[in-house]
Amino acid sequence: LYTTPDSCEGRCGEPFSEEDECHCHSECGGHHNCCEDYERHCGPAGFSRSSDSITDQELLELSEELYGMDHNKARPSDIAIHPQHLAGPEETGDKQDRSPQPLYKYVNEELFSKPTYASFIKLLDNYQRATGREEEVTAEELREQDRFLQEVMETELMKRLFAFLQGKNRYGSEREFLQDLKEMWFGLYSRGDGERDSSGFEHVFSGEVKKGKVSGFHNWIRFYLLEKQGVVNYFSHNFNGPWDTYPDVLGLQFSWDGFYKEVGSAFIGCSPEFELGLYTLCFLARPGRPCHLSLGGHRLSVQTYPWTKSTYGGGRRFIATAYVMSP
């Protein structure tokens, strides 16, 4: 189901990329850089068909489609941000607050009444941010996870993503896709001392604190809500994307209750389903490697990593992290 950087499973015929650890295209044998399992997956008796691989061009085209289908995104009039200081490379790590005003000047909170936003926001208080402390998941929290996934699957964007993945033989039914989304994003694993203290969703969207630093925390809605409460303090930005509508991308520095995030990144103004969908696509297609996409004619990349220390469902990987890359 998943591709991994050192395997040809699901990657037969994938075009050459210098970023890959090993290769699965038909010429790799002559270059002596095939993955070890090339013959098993891609040889004459292999079961991983080249038509099931996801090409770079398909990623560019599908990401543009999903961008156009983000019907729940913020309009330009819904959000006003105040980026203030542009930090240079030597400034991002010095923990200096160079922006006296909040990042968000205005957000139209009517956005948050949309079903995918409302169900997403209900998930954010389900986690304790410190790693090493076991997460206790209540029946109500499990229902909130199911409700969120049901709501996102009602959107045109996620239905299109499923149709694409089904066409690539990644999933046989929408139910199977939904169940795997729940496991890869909400399944618990140990990021600390053996306690089941983390999940992909908690890390990426809610944020964690590990060894005195903010870890993950790549979501604009979470940031806005905590900044409004006075819990998050925006320091500066090191990247502001080229988009003049939403979603946009911001690389930023901030503190959360005194814990610092040196270089963070976030889509600004996208819907929860857009972020979930794009990260899921990249996790399935290019785990552990930059995933090159196109949004509104502008290129960008998403980086995801699988959690390698534990698995579920016969060897499938949880999401360790996913974020949009800022130069």
* Residues annotated catalytic, as ranges: 203, 218, 261
CA 79/CA 96 separation, integer angstroms? 26
Give the three-state DSSP class for 262.
strand
- In the numeric block, which tokens belong to residue 154? 């009602």
Strand duo 104-107 + 79-81: pairing: antiparallel
Counted residue by residue, the chain has a size of 327
CA 289 to chain centre: 13
**Dihedrals φ, ψ of 46, to 5°?**
-65, 155
Cβ proximity of 84 and 99 under 8 Å: yes
Residues near 323 by beta carbon (within 8 Å), at least 6 away in sequence = 204, 216, 218, 265, 302, 303
Strand duo 232-240 + 248-256: pairing: antiparallel
Q: Amino acid letter at 36?
A: E
Q: Residues of 152-190 as b/e, b for ≥16 C-beta within 10 angstroms?
A: bbebebbebbbebbeebebbeeeeebbebbbbbbbbbbb
